[in-house]
Amino acid sequence: MKYLKKRKALIFVFFLILIVFEFNSLIYYSIGEVVPGYQKDYNLNKNKSIRYYFNNSIQFGLSTNVSLNGSIEYDKQITNRETFIKVANNNPLILNFSSETDLGGFGYQRKPKGPSSGNSQYQYQYNYVLQIRANSTVQNLTIQYLKVQKFGLDPHRNYKIAQFYEGGDSWEILPTEEKFNKSSSESYLETQILDIESETDYYITLFQVNPITYEWIWIIAIISIIGIAALVITLSKKDYIQFLKTRTVPIDKGAHQLSMEDVLENENRSMLIDLVLADPGIHFNELLRETDLSAGNLAWHLDILETYKVIGKKRVGRYLVYFPYYQKNPISNIDLKLQKSELTLKILEMIEENPGTYNNEIAKILNVDHKTVSYHINKLKDLQLIESEKSGRKKKLYPNLEAEYYINGEDQNF
């Protein structure tokens, strides 16, 4: 009998401890301040923590070892998002936070490149970008996101935290750890940013990580080839024919004894040029259906167009696909599209001849406004002909030697 009473007492004590533990957990998550709206000016003393509850089920928490003040602002389109930030620094700070669904909300018209990895594909579906700006250097920011469905994160999926900073041109994946909070039985993602520069905008978000499958490799390969071809198809047929007639490129005619005019004026071959210009990457069977030519006749005309370097072909998987003939300008390794912009061409030549040059130096040498130079530099970046590297306050420019423009020979066709 005494044994049973003792056992009941132990069970009672156990459940009492469990109730207190859960109660403390609830208190931990409910302590904070309800904000009626989407903006809060805050003032936080050293060694204090707080959690703000905004409209649209938004939570934002702060913990700091120094005096901290600033503002927190959310775009009204953002819903069901949570962030907790821990600040570690030697001196008091003014730290401002703002958020939008994407970088366009912060005035960025040109989207930065997404993160890249040989084994993974990164997708942005989070619709929540946090902007951070400090009045002086910050030694350490720890950023955490609760990994729960309520705040837009699937517990069964993989995510990485990424940053984009003012002056950069691509998102950068940060070392991201997934941790487990025993008191709340919830997982959260965590990263650290060290030595944040003063008066510089940093942008933080989450990317979903998916492994690249075999099928994706072929899709990416096809898209890449079509992307290269797209540089040519922006030209009209008249421009393309003019280019073919005026270029200087060696042609081994083989058994064919035709002039370029004979090649281009033939009705069937003219139709094939139209189809290839309209649909770069078109394959043999599709041309067969579109032209109503016999297979032998089609192969004959395609062979003539290839021999005279009017079109090129590549094998993609099981298909032979055809493109407008692409050849790099032997003077400056630049494609036909860029020949129409003399200033863009000059800027590319300067970067090729002086790797590490930068915007203001180019503007000074060419005697043009730096904003004009920026426009042409962005044009070269879009074509993936150059890349930039931040060095202090400067963004040094280099030719992208890994681009096919530089890797392939000057007489390589596609």
Q: Which two tokens stand for residue 408?
A: 């392939």
Tell me the pLDDT band of 335, cut-offs 50, 70 and 90.
Answer: very low
| Cα–Cα dist 71/316, whole Å | 54
Give 80 or 7, the one with higher predicted confidence.
80
Give 332 or 335, the one with higher predicted confidence.
335
Residues 282-315: pLDDT tens digits? 888 888 888 888 888 898 999 899 888 888 887 6
Q: Which two tokens stand for residue 307?
A: 């021999």
Distance between first and last Cα of the chain: 91
| Cα–Cα dist 219/316, whole Å | 10
Please give the pLDDT value at position 147. 93
Domains of the chain, earliest start first: 31-211 (no CATH), 214-324 (1.10.10.10), 336-407 (1.10.10.10)
Percent of the chain past pLDDT 90, that is, above it, reads 32
What one-character-per-residue DSSP string does 95-129 give?
A: EEEEEESSGGGGT--SPPBPP--SSEEEE-----E
pTM of the model: 0.49
Residue 27 has pLDDT above 60, yes or no: no
Q: How many CB atoms lie within 10 A of CB 256?
A: 13
Tell me the pLDDT band of 16, cut-offs 50, 70 and 90.
Answer: low
| Cα–Cα dist 156/28, whole Å | 25
Q: Which two tokens stand for residue 76?
A: 């009204």
Residues 271-288: pLDDT tens digits? 998 888 888 778 888 888
Residue 134 has pLDDT above 70, yes or no: yes
Residues 362-390: pLDDT tens digits? 988 888 888 888 888 888 887 778 888 88
SS3 of residue 206 by DSSP:
strand
Residue 406 has pLDDT above 90, yes or no: no
Please give the pLDDT value at position 25. 40
Paired strand residues for 190 = 144, 177
Residues 215-225: pLDDT tens digits? 545 555 555 55
Q: Which helix (H) or strand (E) holds 242?
A: helix 237-246
| Cα–Cα dist 307/1, whole Å | 103
Please give the pLDDT value at position 77. 92
Q: Length of the chain, please?
A: 414
What values do phi and psi take at 376, rounded to 5? -70, -35
